[in-house]
Structures are given as structure tokens and as C-alpha cells.
Structure 1
Amino acid sequence: MADAHLPDPTEHSLWRPLRLLQASMDADIARVYAEARIDGLKTSFVMELLRLHARGPMTITELAESVGRTHSALSQKVAAMRRAGWVETVTGDDARSKKVTLTDEARSVVGRLAAEWRATEAVIAEIEAEIPYPLSRVVTDIEQALERKSFHERIAERLAKDPAWR
């Protein structure tokens, strides 16, 4: 049974608005795809589809490294993209390896996906020019702060002082 007198810590979140903003912008990109009748495309697939178009077929490991994801995460995403009809796997350079490649359907829209990516990046640059402190600068500043002391280390220090954690 929940302790009724403890406040709900999830009601306060400094970065939840950022996640909601990003989700809203992502939904707008999905709307662009829907209006363009690019059916069944998740916005989360686009980077990998563009990377495969630019660099050609890759193993899951190669693709994961190229987009900065784990092999496990990319393996799941490739499976979803395969089910949706955007990629297929083919025999690699040796019979033991497999490479991920675009389907004909993906190749037919990849130019449009690249155009959307360029438009989105241009709009983000436009928005950053309108605000006093661009998010890209915030990210760089946070990365530098985390180089000085990791997020994990900071959380662990706080938890060590919290009697509820013990």
C-alpha cells in the first residue's frame, strides 16, 4: 500500500517539458510524412534509412556504431524496420554475416526523407537564432559539466545523503 503522506516526486520534473517538446516536434514530422502519404514510416527510422542510403548495406554492428546506438537497440530497431518493409537483410561478404539494406520502397522515398531532414535542421537553426540561448549550446555545456562529474556520480552522491535510499 502506498504511503499517503509521501509526496509524488514525479509531479516535479525539470526536463519533462523538454521531452514533451521533442515529442511534439516529432509528431509534427510524423504529420509531414502522413501528409506526403509516406505510410508506415516511424520518424525514429529515418536516420538509419538515410545512413544506409549514404553508406550502403551494413551489418547491424556497423550501423549501430555509425548512429551511436548499442547493437541490442539497433537489432530491435532493424527488426521493426524489416517488419514495416523498409529494410531487409542479405548475406554479407562471407556466408556467416548479414547486412542490412534498404528495400525498393525505402529507396523510392529516401530522397524525400533527406529533404525533410535538411528542412528540419534548417528550421531548428532558425528557431535557435530566435532564442537567447540555443539548445545546441545547452547540450554542449551539459556535456562539459558531465565530463567534470558524471550524471551517475552526481546521483549516487545525492542518494548517499538520502535516508530513504538506505
Structure 2
Amino acid sequence: MTVDNTPDPTERSRWRPLRLLQAAMDADIARIYAEVPVEGLKPSFVMELIRLHAHGPMTITELAESVQRTHSAISQKVAAMRAAGLVRTTAGADARSKKVTLTAKASRVVDRLAAEWRAAEAAIAEIEAEIPYPLSRVVTDIEEVLRRKSFHDRIAEKLAEDVAWE
């Protein structure tokens, strides 16, 4: 209890089960990658490594757009992948851009990473077939609801009603 005798709002969460489920599934994927093994490989690098393999060298901006992440997030990830010896960067067409390319180390394992990606997608499809309301449908349905009224607007409306937000 807080000083004003209201319960800790973080003790209840509709999101926590989803986050815990995703964390558990990600941990299982990490266990698969630990079996590869490739020093410095993190599951969070895999999409970008596969994308670079499939489409060739890209600027950080192109890679960010390709995987629907921010330039800043991909720039940080590229720095971590470079430190792990999985990619290298070279000067791009202008002085402000960098081209990202796979190293030989990454090229040796990228086909295995793509195989794991396909296996994970197949496992998710299998799981969805066993449940009455697939997660992919839930996501699509939530996206449709949020097109009608954004999450931001919904939160702002609730805060306007809460005296603690004043």
C-alpha cells in the first residue's frame, strides 16, 4: 500500500502475462542459439543478419526501414553486432551514412539462423492451430481498434479523469 492507501497499481497487469510469455519464448530461442554456438550472437541480432544476407549490404537507414525499427535502435544494434564480429561498416554514398555488411563469421551461420527462424514460425503456427483465438488474430484485432482511437488517446482520456495526474 502507498501512503494514500491505494494499492500498488503495478501489482496488477494485463500486459505482464504477455511480456512473460514472450520472454519465456525468447529464452527458448536463446537456448537454441546457444547450441549453435556463435560467440557474441544474440537472438535480437538474427532478423538483421538474415535481412543483410538476403538483401545484401544496406545503410543503417535502409536496414532500420527494412526491419521497422528506428535509426537510433539499429545504429546501436549494428555497433553491438560489429563488436561481436558479425558485421562491418564502411562509408556509405555520403559522409553521413554507413553501409552494413556481414562478416565471414556471420556468413558461415546465417543459413542456420534462417532455418531456426523458419522452425520458430512453424512452431508458432502449430501453437496457433491448437488455440481457439490465435495471437496473430489478436494483434490484428488490436491494431484495428487502435486505428479507431490510439492507445495514447485512450491513456490521455483516463488520465484526465484521475486526480493524481493533475
Question: TM-score, with normalisation over the residues of structure 1?
Answer: 0.95
Q: Residues 17-36 of structure 1: CA distance to partner in whole angstroms, max 9, x if unpaired?
A: 11111111111011011122
Instruction: Give the fraction of aligned pairs with identical amino acids, expressed as a percent.
Output: 76
Distance in 1, Cα, partners of 2:129 & 2:162: 41
Q: Which residue of 2 aligns with 1:109?
A: 109
1:118-157 to 2 correspondence within 5 Å? 118-157=118-157
Distance in 2, Cα, partners of 1:163 & 1:63: 44
Q: For residues 98 and 134 of structure 1, do their structure 2 counterparts lie closer, same or farther at Cα, with a shift above 3 Å needed? A: same
The alignment partner of 2:79 has SS state of helix
Q: Which residue of 2 aligns with 1:52?
A: 52
The more displaced of 31-40 and 129-138 is 31-40
Distance in 2, Cα, partners of 1:153 & 1:80: 35
Q: Which runs of 5+ in 1 are unaligned?
A: none
Query: How far off is 1:95 after superposition?
Result: 5.8
| Count of aligned positions | 165
Question: TM-score, with normalisation over the residues of structure 2?
Answer: 0.95
- Cα RMSD between the aligned structures? 1.3
Distance in 1, Cα, partners of 2:37 & 2:69: 29
Query: How far off is 1:4 after superposition?
Result: 6.3
1:28-67 to 2 correspondence within 5 Å? 28-67=28-67
The alignment partner of 2:58 has SS state of coil
| Aligned 8 A contact 2:39 2:84 in 1 | no
| Aligned 8 A contact 1:33 1:39 in 2 | no
